[in-house]
Amino acid sequence: MQVGNDIEKQRIDKWLWVARFFKTRSLASEAVERGRVTLNGNRIKPAKQISLDDILTVRIGNYSYEIKVLGLTNKRESATEAQKLYRETDASREQRELLSARLKAQPPLFYNKGRPTKRDRRDIERFFTNQEDN
């Protein structure tokens, strides 16, 4: 793995893919275009070159990662090797853990299996007629 010395700059979309933040390079590129990735606090384009010690903020779903670039490489390797390319800030990690705990504490969302059956419709009508009587 080439870390730091051999490569001085690398495209942001390629680095996000190599660091395993996104499954494909096109998904990484799309996230950058939509403003979900910032470099040193500024919006960027997918072709923007990053270098060592840059600070990235990556938003994926509800979670936000604030990371410092420690290495650059052209080859996508295992997840353990990819984690050596960056370091997440302590504040970012704490925020994600807090958000994760909050999301787990919420009750599950209502699941609707689709259009109500005849039996479901009767139950709904019975429920509403009982509500009107009270």
Residue 28 in domain: yes
Q: Cα–Cα distance between 37 and 57 in angstroms, integer?
A: 6
* Global pTM value: 0.74
Q: Which domain holds residue 38?
A: 10-107
How many domains does the chain fold into?
1
Residue 134 in domain: no
* Predicted confidence (pLDDT) per residue in 71-124, tens digit: 999 899 999 999 999 999 999 999 999 999 998 888 876 667 788 889 988 998
Higher per-residue confidence, 31 vs 6: 31
Residue 72 in domain: yes
Residue 119 in domain: no
Q: Cα–Cα distance between 19 and 58 in angstroms, integer?
A: 12
Q: What is the CATH number of the domain that holds 50?
A: 3.10.290.10
Please give the structure tokens belonging to residue 66. Answer: 């604030």
* Predicted confidence (pLDDT) per residue in 29-51, tens digit: 999 999 999 999 899 999 999 99
